[in-house]
A and B are shown apart, each in its own frame.
Chain A
Amino acid sequence: MPAEAAGAAAWSAVVLSLQLAGLTTLILLAAGTPLAWWLARTRSGAKGPVSALVALPLVLPPSVLGFYLLVSLGPEGPGGQLTQALGLGLLPFTFAGLVVGSVLYSLPFVVQPLQNAFEALGDGPLEAAATLRASPLDTFFSVVLPLSRPGYLTATVMGFAHTVGEFGVVLMMGGNIAGSTRVVSVQIYDHVEALEYAQAHWLAGGMLLFSFTVLLALYMLNPTGGRR
């Protein structure tokens, strides 16, 4: 591959990774907030089983999770039957499919920091807001959210970083299609497998440097914990 084509391929993979991680993180923050809130406040017996389900992606090896997603979202699988019935077609080998896989895979990385933040609030601020006649929604946006900012920062960073580094799930259900499912991690892996170590080093080094810079900036701008 000439240098220019290799550069273009690398760039397309980088952009795709960032899009996937960004979209996944947004979906997880939106969907994870009510779930984490419920887990933090509930006294129902379902809390244990639901917490365990949320944590499951930590246990399953990513390629195993990817394999089961491939099978269950395939035309013979229950997920595949459902997406076809809804007129969405089949998810494997599409960007949308990768988003679904990544949301499942990074779920605990977003839900758990949020849940910890909500639990740390305690009842005090909520009761104070209630005595001032704030509606639950108002309470959430003007009291809970600002107080939970460190938790949201952690959830965002963890969810995003975890998805950028994701490999097994994408490899299994992506089909390695340039421009729609070939993300950076897969591209690096391809280089290593093809014994193109120089390209692999460049891409991996660039990815590390970029991630470190972003994480550093986030943590410098948001000094949290310890020093209150």
Chain B
Amino acid sequence: MTPFTRLLPALALLAAVTGLRAETVQVAVAANFTAPMNAIAASFARDTGHQARLAFGSTGKLYAQIRNGAPFEVFLAADQETPARLEKDAAAVAGSRFTYATGQLVLWSPRAGVVDSQGEVLRRNEFRHLAIAAPKLAPYGAAAVETLNRLGLMQRVAPKLVLGESIGQAFSFVASGNAQLGLVALSQVYEDGRIKTGSGWVVPARWHEPLRQDAVQLVRGQANPAAAALMDYLKTDKARAIIRAHGYGD
């Protein structure tokens, strides 16, 4: 008998007493939040015993799937509009919405020393392509356009813009060297509190509307204790620390 099996009856008793049952919750997650959510799900399972099954995709696609009966119980979107819309559609639990992360925009090049600490490289205009996410489809794209407008560079840069359909694709354009610069998500290039490769300039938050990402509990998960537990868990200090370590602000 290993020490662990000796513990089993005690654990079973504890579970029975506290009425805890391990449940599974189906979660739809915006693609930009993949890495932090994997880490959060692991720590959620350790701390509560509940399993979170994650499905990643673009916010627009996930919205269409949820509206057409996809079995998701919690939705972590890349924006605020979509969860609000689901609430209006009566597909989400009213009053469950909250901001779980705030994205940060970074001007990034895979090469060291290309992007200076002030983003002057944008003004110098010595690049062939600047990759951004499509402003109509991705909040990061809208923030990028807003930033370029604020800096008064939109006119000059417009012919050099290449649009990724998502922030992930905009990142591919830059990472592959096809675009010399990109306005991407800090979380894509950030690890252990710093930019891991190349050079980047974190765009000051005042240059664009805050990139707030909201989570919402869906009507399908209303009766699932694991869904409510996950919503609460996203607000814990442990989860917040993971989110910050991945390059998101609070």
- The residues of A with any CB-CB pair to B shorter than 8 Å are 67, 70-71, 73-77, 80, 90, 92-93, 171-172, 175-177, 186, 189-190, 192-195
Let me know if B177 and A76 touch, CB within 8 A.
yes
Let me know if A176 and B172 touch, CB within 8 A.
no
Let me know if B172 and A194 touch, CB within 8 A.
no
Q: How does the 8 Å CB contact mask read for B152-193 relative to A, with 1 for contact and 0 for none?
A: 000000000111110001001100111100000000000000
Q: How far is the CA of A67 from the CA of B64 in the complex (A)?
A: 25
Q: Which of the residues A70, A186, A193 comes within 8 Å of B178, measured between beta carbons?
A: A70
Given A90-B178, A92-B178, A190-B136: A176 in contact with B162 (beta carbons within 8 A): yes
Which one of B45-53, B55-63, B98-106 contacts A? B55-63
Q: How far is the CA of A2 from the CA of B137 in the complex (A)?
A: 18
Check B246 for interface membership: any CB of A closer than 8 A: no
Let me know if B164 and A93 touch, CB within 8 A.
no
Chain B residues near A73: list those with CB within 8 A.
178
Check B143 for interface membership: any CB of A closer than 8 A: no
Chain B residues near A75: list those with CB within 8 A.
177-178
- The residues of B with any CB-CB pair to A shorter than 8 Å are 58, 60-61, 63-64, 85, 129, 131, 134, 136-137, 161-165, 169, 172-173, 176-179
Residue contacts A-B, CB under 8 angstroms, 16 given: A90-B178, A92-B178, A93-B178, A171-B165, A172-B169, A175-B131, A175-B162, A175-B164, A176-B134, A176-B162, A190-B134, A192-B60, A193-B137, A194-B136, A195-B60, A195-B85
Let me know if A190 and B165 touch, CB within 8 A.
yes
Q: How far is the CA of A74 from the CA of B110 in the complex (A)?
A: 13
Let me know if B169 and A171 touch, CB within 8 A.
yes
Whole-angstrom distance from the CB of A43 to the nearest CB of chain B?
Answer: 42
Whole-angstrom distance from the CB of A78 to the nearest CB of chain B?
Answer: 13
Chain B residues near A71: list those with CB within 8 A.
176
Let me know if B129 and A93 touch, CB within 8 A.
yes
Let me know if A70 and B176 touch, CB within 8 A.
yes
Let me know if B136 and A177 touch, CB within 8 A.
no
Chain A residues near B64: list those with CB within 8 A.
192, 195
Q: How far is the CA of A195 from the CA of B61 in the complex (A)?
A: 9
Q: How far is the CA of A186 from the CA of B166 in the complex (A)?
A: 13
Let me know if B129 and A70 touch, CB within 8 A.
no
Let me know if B178 and A74 touch, CB within 8 A.
yes
Let me know if A194 and B178 touch, CB within 8 A.
no
Whole-angstrom distance from the CB of B177 to the nearest CB of chain A?
Answer: 5
Q: How far is the CA of A90 from the CA of B179 in the complex (A)?
A: 11
Chain A residues near B176: list those with CB within 8 A.
70-71, 74, 76-77
Let me know if B137 and A190 touch, CB within 8 A.
yes
Whole-angstrom distance from the CB of B11 to the nearest CB of chain A?
Answer: 44
Q: Which of the residues A172, A177, A190 comes within 8 Å of B172, measured between beta carbons?
A: A172
Chain B residues near A177: list those with CB within 8 A.
161-163
Chain B residues near A67: list those with CB within 8 A.
172
Let me know if A189 and B178 touch, CB within 8 A.
no
Let me know if A193 and B60 touch, CB within 8 A.
yes
Q: How far is the CA of A74 from the CA of B169 in the complex (A)?
A: 15
Known: A93-B162, A194-B60, A195-B60. 12 other contacts (CB 8 A): A70-B178, A73-B178, A75-B177, A76-B177, A171-B165, A171-B169, A175-B173, A176-B165, A190-B136, A190-B165, A193-B58, A193-B61
Q: How far is the CA of A175 from the CA of B63 in the complex (A)?
A: 24
Q: How far is the CA of A193 from the CA of B133 in the complex (A)?
A: 13
Q: How far is the CA of A171 from the CA of B179 in the complex (A)?
A: 15
9 closest Cβ contacts across the A-B interface?
A175-B162, A193-B60, A176-B163, A74-B176, A74-B178, A92-B178, A76-B177, A75-B177, A193-B137
Chain A residues near B179: list those with CB within 8 A.
93, 175
Q: Which residue of A lies closest to B63 (CB)?
A: A195
Chain A residues near B63: list those with CB within 8 A.
195
Q: How far is the CA of A194 from the CA of B169 in the complex (A)?
A: 16
- Name the residue among B58, B161, B172, B176 with the largest chain A CB count within 10 angstroms: B176
Q: Which of the residues B131, B137, B161, B173 comes within 8 Å of A194, measured between beta carbons?
A: B137
Q: How far is the CA of A70 from the CA of B85 in the complex (A)?
A: 36
Q: How far is the CA of A74 from the CA of B60 in the complex (A)?
A: 29
Chain B residues near A74: list those with CB within 8 A.
176-178
